[in-house]
Structure 1
Amino acid sequence: MEKLGLNEIRTRFLEFFRGKDHLILPSFSLIPQKDKSLLLINAGMAPLKPYFTGQEKPPKKRIATCQKCIRTPDIERVGKTARHATFFEMLGNFSFGDYFKKEAIEWAWEFVTQDLKLPEDRLWASIYEQDDEAFEIWHRVVGLPEHKIVRMGKEDNFWEIGTGPCGPCSEIYFDRGPDKGCGKPDCRPGCDCDRFVEFWNLVFTQFNKDEEGNYHPLPHPNIDTGMGLERIAAIMQGVDSIFEVDTIRSILDHISQIAGIEYGESYKTDVSLRVITDHIRSTTFMVGDGILPSNEGRGYVLRRILRRAARHGRLLGIEGPFLSRLAKTVISQSCNAYPELKEREEYILKVIEIEEERFRETIDQGLAYLREYMDELKEQGQKVLDGVKAFKLYDTYGFPLDLTKEILQEEGLEVDEEGFRREMEVQRERARAAHRITDYMGMDSNVYKLIDAEVSTRFVGYHALESHSRVLAIIKDDTRVQSAAQGDEIAVVLDQSPFYAESGGQVADQGLLLWDNGRMEIRDVKKLFGNKIIHYGRMIEGTLEQGDVVHAVVDREARLAAARNHTATHLLHSALREVLGPHVEQAGSLVTPQRLRFDFSHFSALSSEEILKVERLVNQKIMEAIPVEVFETTFDEAKEMRAIALFGEKYGDRVRVVKIGDFSIELCGGTHLTNTGQAGMFKIVSESGVAAGVRRVEAITGFEVYNHILNQDRLIGYVCRELKTNPFDLEGRVQGLIAQIKEQEREIANLRAKLASSLVDSLIEAGQEIGGIKCIAANVEGQDIEGLRHMMDVMKDKMRVGVVVLATASDGKVHFVAGATKDAVAKGVHVGNLLREVAKITGGGGGGRPDMAQAGGKDASKLQEALSQVCVLLAKQLGIK
């Protein structure tokens, strides 16, 4: 058996199926396209769903891919087993109504025995127990002995998800030898031991399951196969674990070198080495596809994986950031198959570096709080951490739930996951915007089911804002109807449309459908798979019938305003690259008639000077009135022109190019001006950060800039009238007022300090002696938090051994500060713990160090009660009864 490297196996697989007349597609992005049922691509067939459902015509009936995938349900087992991983590559060959079982089985056998040269005597197959056809092919055609074809039940060898396409499976197994098995005489595929490894699953999609559970034969059955690249590489290289496969082992060895730890020395350190190895692969590929760390969705998946890897680095004793160094090894091992990794290497490394640094800054503080929480649980004899506290660790200190669970488990504790999820849902409800409920295919699946696969819409809106169109389908309340009447909220499919459907960050056109005695307002437009354009809106008057011809009219002013902003977005992109550097890449955009929003890769806030440079450059290009050229060409020709492609976007052979002189050239499907001068003027209204390594610019053009200037003039006029000055003297007048206010604030601070100093001696005099420590607890009215801190410091300086807790109340809320002298701390005082208990009485919380702490409370009526407990709690802390 030839010992092949992982990269060689990938190449051989794709070339083998190229020889079988398959179209070889590059891996799709990990970000699902038009499929909101998935956060991340988790299987080789996932990006090909529209071809399997018939909603989109495949570019060829035979396709093969090597698809990068992410799965996280078993993340807790990663590192603890030889096979579990969050990142993997899936080899697959697919047939859409072309070949079927015979070819799929024969070619699979040919590839593994003739190309990979796996010994036939170590190969087994499993089939669905009722699939006699597959048995005959394996036994009669391939020649596999009958005893090596194992029949299994529906749970193991039948693929289905709810209703829809489904079918039996056949799996190919490799026998690793009796020494890897359980020793039972009947050991064979399906046994729980490690002897037989399943490495290729052939799915024969031949039925359609209806709502009643009946299976109907499909007129054109499909083939969907999946072979884990890492798993077959482990077999070919004769290793027991995917972590010992050549490309993956090189990453693991790099970590071992950084940590100064030998792999195989101990189970505990091996787990950490394997966790980091897997997680840095996931992290590198996710960032490479444009995913950024965040607290929502796929960004949260990335954040928890990256931070989990960082924490295991700390467990290995690695000091400082190290993940970006490992990412370079991942890139070097995989860049031939995935060239985008090398193209975006600088960006990938920077995003990882920033996120790891952010985690480093927060983890120590978060760990301190978690340690306090665990100490509390142990003191109280409890085992479960409150979900609210777990959520605080997540929300404030960036601790993913699984990280909190992991640390707690090391101490024999657990977390109230249900309570955590309740808090998470409360936060989501606050932030959740109204959106259309989606499922399997990412848009309304009912819409997909109701519209024939052959139906499509021709978009004519690049060159026309009006068209005469025929109504192909009307949908109301998730039901296909023949007609609609006044007041109905409906969705309409036309044979041709001038309406731009929401895409590429540009919002949809709005407008009207007009016909004799009838009118429909179009509010939104979506493009579904298979070139179906759905027009959502409300019937204003009349009746609309399927088959009617309507006059479709786009709102001309809104379209032109959106075009101003879209062309300006391209100018902005190029200006940012010129001013900040070529590392700037688009990370997201929004184009509306009112404004534009552009997210881009950059690692620090823009200075005022940089913003002015960018703004001036865009306006310069507008004033030059450069013609905007739009044309179609091949993707390869566009790359030769150095056209900029969108991060993570999938392009076909033909692409649309938008070229603005020598200043900007991008692939884009949006609507644009014919000349930059039509934009009028460009104004940046804000610049901010939205994620690690991503900045956001919001800007306006055209009449919105004019309106902005009018509003600024009105504001300046109002301020001048109130300050009794004119626009030319306004700056000097404001500076004078600021100086006056600062002087008055200094006088107030001095008066407060004098007042506080006059109280200090009397408060010290009134303090109690507790175990040789002066204990002072007082409510100081009229002081802010800074005033309290100043008083506390003065009092500590005047005492040799003492504890001070001061409080003030304002607007129903309470503020506490506490301090302890060095000698008091030496006697066992911890004011952070003490103050936390005091604050609880007022419905608040807080804490801090042994010598200094701060806290807040919600119920000012309990302030006096809380202060009365300070000396009691101090005595308890000192063990005085």
Structure 2
Amino acid sequence: MENLGLNEIRDLFRDFFVSKGHYAGKSASLIPQNDKSLLIINSGMAPLKPYFAGVETPPSKRMTTCQKCIRTGDIDNVGKTARHGTFFEMLGNFSFGDYFKEQSLTWGWEFITEWLKMPKDRVWATVYQDDDEAHDIWVKLGMPEDHIVRLGKDDNFWEIGLGPCGPCSEIFFDRGEKYGCGKPDCKPGCDCDRYIEFWNHVFSQFSKEEDGSYSDLAHKNIDTGMGLERMACIMQGVDSIFDIDTIRHILNAVAEKAGVKYEQGSEQNDISLRIVTDHLRSMVFMISDGILPSNEGRGYVLRRLIRRAARNGMILGINQDDFLAELADKVIEVSGGAYPELVEKQEYIKKIIRNEESQFSKTLANGLSILNDYMSDMDAKGEKVLAGELAFKLYDTYGFPIELTEEILAENGKTPDMEGFRQSMANQKETARAGQRDTSDEAWKDAGAYSHLPATEFLGYTETEAEAEVQFCGSYDRERKFLIFNRTPFYATSGGQLHDTGIVTAGEAKYHIVDVVKENGIFLHVVDADDSKKMDAVSEGDRVTLKIDSVKRNRISRGHSATHLLQQALRDVLGDHVMQAGSYVDENYLRFDFNHFEAMTGEEIRKVEDIVNAHIDEFLPIQMQEMPIEEAKKMGAMALFGEKYGDIVRVVSMGDYSVEFCGGTHLDNTGKIGAFKITAEYGVASGVRRVEAVTGSQVIQYLDAKAAILEEAATVLKTGEKDLPKRAEQLLQDNRDLEKELKALKADQIAGSVDAIIASAKDVNGVKLITKRFDNTDADQLREMSDAIKEHTDNVVMVFAAVNDGKIILIASVSEDLVSKGYHAGKIIKEVAKVAGGGGGGKAGMAQAGAKDASKLEDAFAKAEELIAVQ
């Protein structure tokens, strides 16, 4: 048996099944597509479920893949054992109604014995207890009968709820007696470590019915899974996934960065090395697939992995904020050949990791300080369980992950009250829900009365005016009524696009439509409050005329078409990771939310504007087509992530530049957008940025407003508009010079008052205590003053406060001789600041804090005296 590298095994598996007529599919993204049952892809067959279910046609009836997977169910064991990991690759071969049991096992035997050259006498198999067919195939292939073990349903029958299911056969490798339990009947199925399962062949041949019975499937399928890392362990003769070639390459780099040796030091070091190594692999692959750190969903999984790895780096003694970003290169070195997207996105991946490391460093410092205080209080009281509300405060107020709280407490022999934590979480959610309740539940009183109506026919893609029949008139809220028609040109708010407004004409009467809402395909046209008082004459069956406000519609369509160009331009400038995270378009402006990890630079904003305007100037035709979803996907149409689409979709294409799924209204040519200008760019959530922009005539209005501001500024500064930058810079420089002069004068004043300040010291327990408030003084000046005093005298503790425009800075300073006696500025300032509604900390010689209540400063100084008195 050859010692094969992990990358070699992957290639051999692919080449073998390609030689057997299999289509070699690329690994799917870790983000499930059109599958809301999964947060992250966790098995080789998960992305292929639509093929097995028959709802999509596979590229071939025979497929082979190597699928990247993430599983975090055992994350607490990662590092503590040598076999647990969050990221792994799953090799598989699949048949969608083509070959079945005999061919699958035959090829499996051929691959492991002829291509991998495994000794036949060390290969075992398990089969379902009633599966004589699989048993006989193994015997026919040459496997000794005593190497075939029959097991029950729990071990060798695959089913999840109702639907396709079937028996399976698992293949094992005998690692030898030294790994065994010594029992004479030791074999696969035993709890010892002698037999390691590495390949499972699932035979989907039945369908489980609601009555619990099983029927035969018309088309039988094969689904196999081989853990690549586990197979590498076998082929390389190692006991741990952390010892196989590619992963050990990463681990060695982590160890070198930490300055420690793996398995030659403390067990805690080994645990932390394994955690960092494993989590590095996960974070690199997740980010490359477009997952960004956040506080929910798969983004939270990523954030947790990065922060867990960062903290274990600190445990190893790595004092570098961006060490994970740097070590990401090692993951890409060993996996970039098989996954070229890692190389393409290398700098982007490192930027995301670096940004999260930086944020976590700040969170950790603050949270650790608070948690250490909690633990000190627990020790003083002899408690082992941290109150749930305190654990929740760490999580909710300070952003400290509950998992980290659990880990740190466990390392110190303590636990959090998780039931109390969950209750605090529930209380907060209930409070939030209560705060959001309004009178909206008063609306839709007549909902049940119209639910029987057919879906409204929407004419608005091509018509702005139409004849229609009234089908229902009801109360929308206390002041307004709504009308339902059999057909309408009015667009209802959806997909980020605002509704149309317009007029309904019924005989001599006219009614203003101010809102349009769609519910289960039925359009509710909301009439304004004044007109709603005069609707007694409107009855079901009446023929009316509907006419939308065409100018408003044109302006909205102009903005909506611009968002399509904007999304593609953002991808061109920032990268393919950019995906829509929300949008809004009305007649005045548009906004577009997208996944991105940092603020756009001025240059990037200009590039996006230039690209959009260039495609406006090209007068690209805008086409809207309805087509089967599979045909749309083949066109490369971009879908909104998480959106559910039917079999027939509407695709909007702007030349060859932008092709998207979209149900909104658009222009027929990009030239009609006129112009495009970004007016703002900012963050709205972790990893989500927002662009606001205007189009057409709104651009002129925006520029006119800017010009008016420039004109006013030039008048105030008494200069011409062209000279404004130069004039502003001169004023700023003058201001800096004045501040410098003031600071120098203040320093001279402080130096001249040192003797007087020392003379004001109070003797407390044999220590000189100086407390003093200063107005219009900064922290640097307080520190300079304390240093000057320590040069003139010893045996002194100082607590100074600077008050500037309501902001309070406190510092505590302790002379060196008192530091050696146990006096600690950090501990003093922490207690003093609490009195004035603040907090802070620092070293023994010097510490700083902020405070909120200047009226409490005298009480804070009294607290300092109290602390010195009991020292």
Alignment TM-score, normalising by the size of structure 1:
0.71
1:421-447 per-residue CA deviation (whole Å, 9 max, x = no partner) reads 566677878999999xxxxxxxxxxxx
Q: How does 1:215-614 map to 2 (within 5 A)?
A: 217=215, 223=221, 224-256=223-255, 258-259=257-258, 261-266=260-265, 267-318=267-318, 320=320, 321-359=322-360, 374=375, 377-378=378-379, 380-385=381-386, 400-418=401-419, 464=462, 523=517, 535=521, 538=524, 561=555, 563-565=557-559, 567-569=561-563, 571-572=565-566, 586-588=578-580, 590-594=582-586, 595-597=590-592, 599=594, 605-607=600-602, 611-612=605-606
Structure 1: which amino acid aligns with 2:228?
L
Deviation at 1:306, TM superposition (A): 2.5
Structure 1: which amino acid aligns with 2:77?
R
Contact (CA 8 Å) 2:499, 2:515: kept in 1 or not? no
Structure 2 partner of 1:439:
none
Q: How does 1:151-190 map to 2 (within 5 A)?
A: 151-154=151-154, 156-157=155-156, 159=158, 164-165=162-163, 167=165, 169-174=167-172, 175-190=174-189
Structure 1 partner of 2:440:
none
Deviation at 1:142, TM superposition (A): 3.6
Structure 1 partner of 2:869:
875
1:228-281 per-residue CA deviation (whole Å, 9 max, x = no partner) reads 222233234433222233333333344455556554434444433332332221
1:637-682 per-residue CA deviation (whole Å, 9 max, x = no partner) reads 99999x9989999999x9979565xxx8345334764433211222
Structure 2 partner of 1:472:
none
After superposition, the Cα gap between the structure-2 partners of 1:487 and 1:350, relative to the gap in structure 1 and judged at 3 Å, is: same
Matches of 1:633 and 1:325, distance apart in 2: 46
After superposition, the Cα gap between the structure-2 partners of 1:248 and 1:524, relative to the gap in structure 1 and judged at 3 Å, is: farther
1:539-560 per-residue CA deviation (whole Å, 9 max, x = no partner) reads 879999xxxxxx9999977775
Contact (CA 8 Å) 1:255, 1:273: kept in 2 or not? yes
Contact (CA 8 Å) 1:520, 1:537: kept in 2 or not? no
Structure 2 partner of 1:819:
813
Which deviates the most, 838-847 or 52-61? 52-61
Structure 1: runs of 5 or more not aligned: 436-456, 469-482, 526-533, 545-550
Q: Structure 1 residue 828 and structure 2 residue 822: aligned?
A: yes
Structure 2 partner of 1:848:
842
**SS of match in other structure, 2:661:** coil
Structure number with greater CO (CA < 8 Å, separation at least 6) is 1
1:7-32 per-residue CA deviation (whole Å, 9 max, x = no partner) reads 34434545555667665532221112
Q: How does 1:778-789 map to 2 (within 5 A)?
A: none
Matches of 1:596 and 1:558, distance apart in 2: 17
After superposition, the Cα gap between the structure-2 partners of 1:640 and 1:112, relative to the gap in structure 1 and judged at 3 Å, is: closer
Structure 2 partner of 1:137:
133
Structure 2: which amino acid aligns with 1:190?
G
1:136-174 per-residue CA deviation (whole Å, 9 max, x = no partner) reads 2222344373783332354x455555x543645434141
Q: Structure 1 residue 115 and structure 2 residue 146: aligned?
A: no
Matches of 2:829 and 2:849, distance apart in 1: 7
**SS of match in other structure, 1:596:** strand
**SS of match in other structure, 1:83:** coil
1:108-163 per-residue CA deviation (whole Å, 9 max, x = no partner) reads 422331122145544444456xx62xx22222344373783332354x455555x5
Structure 2 partner of 1:665:
657
Matches of 1:25 and 1:426, distance apart in 2: 48
**SS of match in other structure, 2:657:** strand
CA RMSD after TM alignment: 6.1
Matches of 1:60 and 1:511, distance apart in 2: 50
Matches of 1:70 and 1:757, distance apart in 2: 63
Structure 1 partner of 2:535:
none
1:313-357 per-residue CA deviation (whole Å, 9 max, x = no partner) reads 444455644434543343343334333223323322333344445
Matches of 1:638 and 1:750, distance apart in 2: 70
After superposition, the Cα gap between the structure-2 partners of 1:233 and 1:746, relative to the gap in structure 1 and judged at 3 Å, is: closer
1:709-743 per-residue CA deviation (whole Å, 9 max, x = no partner) reads 5776898999999x899998997999999999999
Structure 2 partner of 1:106:
102
Structure 2: which amino acid aligns with 1:348?
I
1:781-805 per-residue CA deviation (whole Å, 9 max, x = no partner) reads 9999899878877876775432233
Deviation at 1:419, TM superposition (A): 5.5
Deviation at 1:290, TM superposition (A): 1.2
Contact (CA 8 Å) 1:805, 1:870: kept in 2 or not? yes
Q: How does 1:49-128 map to 2 (within 5 A)?
A: 49-50=49-50, 64-94=64-94, 98=97, 104-117=100-113, 118-126=118-126
Contact (CA 8 Å) 2:777, 2:804: kept in 1 or not? no
Structure 1: which amino acid aligns with 2:168?
S
After superposition, the Cα gap between the structure-2 partners of 1:217 and 1:124, relative to the gap in structure 1 and judged at 3 Å, is: same
After superposition, the Cα gap between the structure-2 partners of 1:164 and 1:658, relative to the gap in structure 1 and judged at 3 Å, is: same
The one of 732, 752, 775 equivalent to 2:769 is 775
**SS of match in other structure, 1:197:** strand
**SS of match in other structure, 1:271:** helix
Contact (CA 8 Å) 2:640, 2:661: kept in 1 or not? no
After superposition, the Cα gap between the structure-2 partners of 1:667 and 1:677, relative to the gap in structure 1 and judged at 3 Å, is: closer
Deviation at 1:614, TM superposition (A): 5.0
Structure 2: which amino acid aligns with 1:187?
C
Deviation at 1:84, TM superposition (A): 1.0
Matches of 1:536 and 1:634, distance apart in 2: 23
Q: Structure 1 residue 697 and structure 2 residue 672: aligned?
A: no
**SS of match in other structure, 1:42:** coil
* Sequence identity (%): 43
Deviation at 1:289, TM superposition (A): 0.5
Structure 2 partner of 1:199:
198
Deviation at 1:601, TM superposition (A): 5.5
Structure 2 partner of 1:44:
44
Which deviates the most, 414-423 or 104-113? 414-423
After superposition, the Cα gap between the structure-2 partners of 1:799 and 1:251, relative to the gap in structure 1 and judged at 3 Å, is: closer
Aligned length: 805
After superposition, the Cα gap between the structure-2 partners of 1:788 and 1:334, relative to the gap in structure 1 and judged at 3 Å, is: closer
Matches of 1:735 and 1:17, distance apart in 2: 69
Structure 2 partner of 1:438:
none
1:534-583 per-residue CA deviation (whole Å, 9 max, x = no partner) reads 74765879999xxxxxx9999977775565345534655676688xx676
Matches of 2:547 and 2:216, distance apart in 1: 41
**SS of match in other structure, 2:681:** strand
Matches of 2:333 and 2:591, distance apart in 1: 37
1:727-774 per-residue CA deviation (whole Å, 9 max, x = no partner) reads 989979999999999999999999999999999988765643124321
Contact (CA 8 Å) 2:654, 2:670: kept in 1 or not? no
**SS of match in other structure, 1:185:** coil
Structure 2: which amino acid aligns with 1:177?
G
Which deviates the most, 668-677 or 415-424? 415-424
Structure 1: which amino acid aligns with 2:163?
P
Contact (CA 8 Å) 2:714, 2:721: kept in 1 or not? no
After superposition, the Cα gap between the structure-2 partners of 1:777 and 1:264, relative to the gap in structure 1 and judged at 3 Å, is: closer
Q: Structure 1 residue 837 and structure 2 residue 812: aligned?
A: no
Deviation at 1:282, TM superposition (A): 0.8
Which deviates the most, 289-298 or 355-364? 355-364
After superposition, the Cα gap between the structure-2 partners of 1:359 and 1:644, relative to the gap in structure 1 and judged at 3 Å, is: farther
Deviation at 1:288, TM superposition (A): 0.7
Matches of 1:582 and 1:737, distance apart in 2: 36
